[in-house]
């Protein structure tokens, strides 16, 4: 006779799950035993947070939920940050947590926390499984909810007595494809009218434009309309940055070079914008009109209140919109004259060989060693702004960054997931010395899994981004510096390789050697953060004078 845990694992197999990440506890042992004879691989991590960052990234990259498993109480609570990461980031994920038996209680309240309630604000659904009979339907429902727009995390708690209970076999619920409806004709007509009337239109690609299902249809819209586009941080790559319509990425909310185009636009077609991202531009009473094109209606915010919405499956809806305007847009390229100026100033001094290297130089050199389909996964720190702003992206989802929860600690685990899914591509984690240490224990997991992965640590012995903000706000330099382990020895102690970049010219050869050598390789380089204030504050303030000039 099957047990509850057998039904759970069969239901996961029915969903096509091939790996589960996590740290089991004694309450999960029936599930672990059921996994042993299944087609699903159990991948142990060294912290539950790492497991859930990997599972969320699986969802982000494939559109199918990644799965993680933990014990009750302490293990489950270690999932909270990654649950929020998946919720804000729109990443489908299933979290399976254990619990003490619910039919009798022989350990009183030991380790018991109301996990289901704790996760309610961090998930799309958080439920306890109370009967073996409902397992197949609950699992099917959990996967559907996790994948449906907007995608996100779901938590299922399986008490150990339900997991261990013998039961009749219950049939699995078969999967079937679900098409998302296409936008209404009236909405398409209204949007087309605005686009046809626009004098200076601009397209913006946001986070939902990077969903695996979105990426195919969007390129066609940009090509057919020939309207220049910029991206949010999480919208990078959906339409190749090499395209001659790319105007830049909004890494700051306002007053960056790209905002010269934004501020002059009279219409912005915001494709897949999700206001969980730090605003890529600020809407005001006098600013451009905005058409919101996405799977779900816009959230109305102080900084985002579109005047027109095209809600539906993004690719096919855009195709219908392009049918209405293609060949009739006389002003499509009105803002293109700004492109050269924006991009050349962003590329400014990218080859300067000052030591320690500048952020611009590091971004430039990383781009040289990463092929077009190579993936960089960023942790959170000051360098993220530089990569978002300066790194050109040619393929969708080749820059994995978190501009939603913006948590530290996800860089290494998300890069590991990318390396598992795409073993033939180069994958680079880019981390600060602060963020790397938040999940550096997963180096052991990476080595055990024999991943090919390079980790670049940018060392400034500080929580650099906060230290920078402290200086910008004219606070004295205090309380944000720390010491580091010897990262080369640290890598070697895990059985990985380690290298230190000793001169600016050494950065590219060191990264090349690391990729060619295979396995897990940690490269540590210092970074000169004096550029933060010089470029992002002083230079842009100078620039601002021009941006404030009246629009022609």
Ligand X SMILES: Cc1ncc(C[n+]2csc(CCOP(=O)(O)OP(=O)(O)O)c2C)c(N)n1
What residue ranges bind ligand X (CB under 6 A)?
379-383, 406-409, 432-435, 458, 460, 462-466
Of 129, 124, 127, 172, give the one whose Cα is nearest residue 148: 124
**Cα dihedral: 88, 89, 91, 93 (round 10):** -50
For Mg ion, give the closer residue by CB, 375 or 438. 438
Interacting span for Mg ion (CB under 5 A) from 63-71, 82-90, 313-321, 458-466: 458-466
What does 501 interact with, of Mg ion, ligand X, none (CB < 5 to 8 A by kind)? none
The maximal CA–CA distance of the chain, rounded, in angstroms, is 77
For Mg ion, give the closer residue by CB, 413 or 464. 464
DSSP conformation letters of 155-193:
EEEEEHHHHH-B----PPPPP---PPPPPPHHHHHHHHH
For Mg ion, give the closer residue by CB, 188 or 385. 385
Write the burial class of residue 267 (CB in 10 Å: 0-12 exposed, 13-18 middle, 19+ buried). buried
Letters for 462-491 (x = contact with Mg ion by CB under 5 A, - = none) are: --x---------------------------
Continuous segment of H or E residues that includes residue 98: strand 93-99
CB of 436 to ligand X, least distance (A): 7
CB of 511 to ligand X, least distance (A): 18
For ligand X, give the closer residue by CB, 268 or 412. 412
Q: Does 460 bind Mg ion (CB under 5 A)?
A: yes
Q: Which 420-449 residues touch Mg ion, going by CB under 5 A?
A: 432-434
- Look at phi and psi of residue 533 and say left if phi exceeds 0, alpha if psi is from -120 to 50, else beta: alpha
For Mg ion, give the closer residue by CB, 342 or 382. 382
For ligand X, give the closer residue by CB, 182 or 382. 382
Tokens of 64: 């199918």
Residue 266 near residue 256 (C-beta atoms within 8 A) = no
CB of 435 to Mg ion, least distance (A): 8
Q: Does 528 bind Mg ion (CB under 5 A)?
A: no
What does 382 interact with, of Mg ion, ligand X, none (CB < 5 to 8 A by kind)? ligand X
Handedness of CA 114, 115, 121, 124 (dihedral sign): negative
Name residues whose C-beta falls within 8 Å of residue 384's C-beta, 6 or more positions apart in sequence: 233, 378, 401, 403
Q: Which 389-408 residues touch Mg ion, going by CB under 5 A?
A: none
CB of 383 to Mg ion, least distance (A): 9
- ω before 356 within 30° of 0 (cis)? yes
What does 191 interact with, of Mg ion, ligand X, none (CB < 5 to 8 A by kind)? none
* List of residues contacting Mg ion (CB under 5 A): 432-434, 460, 464
């Amino acid at each position: 006779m099957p047990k509850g845990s057998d039904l759970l694992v069969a239901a996961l197999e029915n969903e096509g799950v091939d790996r589960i990440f996590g740290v089991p506890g004694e309450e999960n042992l029936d599930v672990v035993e059921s996994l042993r004879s299944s087609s699903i691989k159990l991948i142990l991590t060294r912290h539950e947070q790492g497991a859930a960052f990997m599972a969320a990234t699986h969802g982000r990259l494939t559109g199918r939920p990644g799965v993680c498993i933990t014990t009750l109480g302490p293990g489950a609570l270690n999932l909270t940050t990654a649950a929020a990461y998946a919720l804000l980031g729109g990443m489908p994920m299933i979290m399976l947590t254990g619990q003490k038996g619910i039919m009798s209680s022989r350990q009183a309240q030991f380790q018991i926390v109301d996990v289901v309630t704790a996760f309610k604000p961090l998930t799309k659904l958080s439920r306890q499984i109370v009967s073996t009979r409902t397992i197949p339907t609950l699992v099917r429902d959990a996967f559907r909810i996790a994948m449906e727009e907007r995608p996100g995390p779901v938590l299922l708690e399986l008490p150990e007595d339900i997991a261990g209970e013998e039961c009749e076999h219950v049939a699995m619920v078969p999967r079937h494809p679900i098409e998302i409806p296409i936008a209404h004709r009236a909405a398409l007509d209204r949007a087309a009218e605005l686009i046809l009337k626009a004098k200076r239109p601009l397209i913006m690609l946001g986070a939902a434009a990077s969903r695996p299902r979105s990426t195919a249809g969007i390129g066609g819209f940009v090509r057919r309309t020939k309207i220049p586009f910029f991206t949010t941080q999480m919208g990078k790559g959906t339409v190749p940055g090499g395209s001659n319509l790319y105007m830049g990425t909004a890494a700051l909310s306002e007053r960056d070079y790209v905002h010269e185009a934004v501020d002059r636009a009279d219409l912005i077609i915001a494709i897949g914008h999700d206001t969980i991202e730090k605003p890529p531009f600020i809407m005001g009473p006098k600013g451009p009109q905005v058409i919101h094109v996405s799977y779900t209606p816009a959230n109305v915010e102080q900084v985002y209140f579109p005047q027109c919405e095209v809600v539906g499956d993004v690719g096919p809806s855009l195709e219908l919109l392009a049918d209405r305007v293609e060949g009739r847009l006389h002003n499509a390229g009105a803002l293109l004259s700004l492109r050269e100026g924006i991009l050349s100033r962003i590329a400014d001094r990218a080859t300067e060989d000052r030591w320690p290297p500048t952020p611009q130089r590091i971004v430039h050199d990383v781009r040289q060693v990463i092929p077009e389909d190579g993936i960089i996964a960023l942790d959170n720190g000051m360098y993220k702004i530089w990569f978002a702003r300066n790194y050109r992206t040619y393929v969708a989802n080749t820059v994995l960054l978190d501009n939603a929860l913006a948590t530290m600690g996800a860089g290494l685990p998300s890069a590991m997931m990318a390396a598992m899914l795409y073993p033939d591509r180069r994958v680079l984690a880019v981390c600060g010395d602060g963020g790397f240490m938040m999940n550096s224990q997963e180096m052991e997991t990476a080595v055990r899994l024999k991943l090919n992965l390079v980790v670049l640590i940018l060392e400034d012995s500080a929580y650099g981004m906060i230290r920078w903000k402290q200086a910008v706000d004219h606070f004295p330099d205090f309380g944000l510096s720390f010491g580091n382990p010897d990262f080369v020895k640290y890598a070697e102690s895990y059985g990985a390789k380690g290298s230190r970049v000793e001169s600016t010219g050494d950065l590219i050869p060191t990264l090349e050697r690391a990729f060619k050598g295979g396995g897990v390789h940690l490269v540590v380089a210092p970074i000169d953060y004096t550029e933060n204030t010089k470029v992002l504050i002083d230079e842009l303030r100078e620039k601002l004078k021009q941006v404030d000039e009246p629009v022609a």
